[in-house]
Amino acid sequence: MDHAFHVTDTSTSWTPRSWRDRPAAQQPDWPDEGAYEAVLKQMSTLPPLVFAGEARALTEHLADVANGEAFLLQAGDCAESFDAFGADAIRDKLKVILQMAVVLTYSSGVPTVKVGRIAGQFAKPRSSPTETVGDVVLPSFRGHMVNDIAPNDDARVPDPNRLLQAYHQSSATLNLLRAFTKGGYADLQQVHTWNQQFVASSNEGRRYERLADEIDRALRFMKACGVNTHSQPALHEVDFFTSHEALILGYEEAMTRRDSLTGDWYDTSAHMIWIGERTRQIDGAHVAFFAGIKNPIGCKVGPTATADEVLALCERLNPERIPGRLTLITRMGAEKVEAGLPPLLAAVRDSGHPVVWACDPMHGNTFSAPDGHKTRHLNDVLAEIAGFFAAHKAEGTWPGGVHVELTGDDVTECLGGAEEILDTDLGSRYETMCDPRLNGRQSLDLAFEVSELLRG
């Protein structure tokens, strides 16, 4: 095993620029390389968005997940938008994640590690460099960090100033998230106020209200027994972490700093970053970049991944076998998960690599509705999660978490749910810039289903 080789490899010669020697998939063609490099230089002088100590704390929480003692809930937008940027949308997304976490923790008794796809999720890999809108062929939209979604050629030209705008929007988003989660809003006594009106009027919302009543009663019981609940920070604030797909490597390089405490390199653009399904080539630039940073990291694993590929990724990305360092996010599709996942679980288990296994039940279950909208059916999403749990049960491994695309808004992007969204409804509130997201009711429904699987 070339275990020792990689330790020296990354700790002595790695720099944030090392990836530039490797082929980098999915990078934009910046029209003016000089302008792009000038923006990166400016970015490298800007304050970090997160601190190394926070990233280390997340690694420790994820180590509990790797050990089968906690559950990971990673959730948020497919792509954040420069246009839909405001306090209400951020609060409502946080609300639905807090609700899901309370459902999972209260119903299963397992602590939930909360990580948003937020405050940096602005770049999208695309299957094709062009897309057809109406009857015009345009360069693909690559996320607001790169170009604009408007259907004309000018809007689709990559603009490096967007990297700076993504940084500043991430900073403002993170500031608000810190205020909400540490400043009283995430207090467990607010458990009722996290329920939005459109959710509360549904079956899932009523089920949530009953659970919130029980939590209220439990808190009153603790007080009556003489427990000083005021002095328990765990009841009044929440640890909430940020994450995104680290696709545009120049941006990530510019945000990478050496931690003054340990001397290690951290990508300070988010607590956790992940490698997408299209950029996980073992000799590619993304894997080379991720190998040298100390943050907790994720890697998507789709239906074509072989056990050898997954083991090579584990060796390259976590040669020191640090629990919590590496999360493998499987996205097999509902039909493939039960046969495709067990061989990967067995191979990693037998290698002794301590990974977190999380299920992304979204990206393997996307299809086009008759009217052309990209969609997913909640039943397929739930079926993939059930298959994920079954595969782990068969292999004796821990189904560590879920990774989902959702919004706090009352959208009609995914089909199904108790308030059955039909394909004829998709046009009414289809607002995503990229993939279809679960709305608040569908997200709660998913949380109740997962907590039952965890209990079982």
φ and ψ of 321, to 5 deg:
55, 50
Residue range at the interface with ligand PEP (CB under 6 A); choices 98-106, 272-280, 334-342, 376-384? 272-280
Torsion of CA 406, 168, 163, 243, to 10 degrees: -40
If binding is defined by CB under 6 A, does position 331 make contact with ligand PEP? yes
Q: Is 123 within 8 Å of 248 (Cβ atoms)?
A: yes
Residue range at the interface with ligand PEP (CB under 6 A); choices 132-140, 174-182, 274-282, 421-429? 274-282
Q: Pick the closer one to Co ion by CB: 76 or 416.
A: 76
Q: Is 319 within 8 Å of 6 (Cβ atoms)?
A: yes
If binding is defined by CB under 5 A, does position 435 make contact with Co ion? yes
User: Whole-number minimum distance, CB 121 to ligand PEP, in Å?
Assistant: 8
Q: Pick the closer one to ligand PEP by CB: 56 or 286.
A: 286
User: Whole-number minimum distance, CB 245 to ligand PEP, in Å?
Assistant: 6
DSSP letters spanning 236-302: H---EEEEEE---HHHHHHTEEE-TTT--EEETT-SEEEE-GGG--TTSHHHHHHHH--S-EEEEE-
Count of residues in contact with ligand PEP, rule CB under 6 A: 10
CB atoms within 10 A of CB 73: 23
Q: Is 216 within 8 Å of 195 (Cβ atoms)?
A: no
Binding at 300: pick from Co ion, ligand PEP, none (beta carbon under 5-8 Å per type): ligand PEP
Binding at 80: pick from Co ion, ligand PEP, none (beta carbon under 5-8 Å per type): none
Tokens found for residue 349: 């288990």
Query: Binder to ligand PEP among 205, 276, 284, 416 (CB under 6 A)?
Result: 276
Q: Pick the closer one to Co ion by CB: 56 or 437.
A: 437
The span from the CA of 51 to the CA of 160, in Å, is 25
Query: Binder to ligand PEP among 93, 363, 437, 441 (CB under 6 A)?
Result: 363
If binding is defined by CB under 6 A, does position 78 make contact with ligand PEP? yes
Q: Exposed, middle or buried, 12 (CB in 10 Å: 0-12/13-18/19+)? A: exposed
Query: Binder to ligand PEP among 56, 286, 300, 377 (CB under 6 A)?
Result: 300
Give every CB contact of residue 394 below 8 A, 6+ residues apart in sequence: 342
Binding at 207: pick from ligand PEP, Co ion, none (beta carbon under 5-8 Å per type): none
User: Whole-number minimum distance, CB 280 to Co ion, in Å?
Assistant: 15
If binding is defined by CB under 6 A, does position 80 make contact with ligand PEP? no
Count of residues in contact with Co ion, rule CB under 5 A: 2
Binding at 253: pick from ligand PEP, Co ion, none (beta carbon under 5-8 Å per type): none
Residue 440: closest CA among 96, 151, 63: 96
Q: Is 80 within 8 Å of 121 (Cβ atoms)?
A: yes
Query: Binder to ligand PEP among 48, 111, 125, 151 (CB under 6 A)?
Result: 125
Query: Binder to ligand PEP among 80, 159, 252, 277 (CB under 6 A)?
Result: 277
Give every CB contact of residue 368 below 8 A, 6+ residues apart in sequence: 374, 375
Q: Pick the closer one to ligand PEP by CB: 109 or 129.
A: 129
If binding is defined by CB under 5 A, does position 78 make contact with Co ion? yes
The span from the CA of 143 to the CA of 165, in Å, is 12
Single-letter amino acid, residue 14: W
Residue range at the interface with ligand PEP (CB under 6 A); choices 20-28, 68-76, 182-190, 270-278? 270-278
Residue 146: closest CA among 433, 427, 435: 433
CB atoms within 10 A of CB 124: 21
Residues 365-404 that bind ligand PEP (CB under 6 A): none
Residue range at the interface with ligand PEP (CB under 6 A); choices 164-172, 271-279, 342-350, 441-449? 271-279
Binding residues vs ligand PEP (CB under 6 A)? 78, 125, 245, 276-278, 300, 331, 363, 435
Binding residues vs Co ion (CB under 5 A)? 78, 435
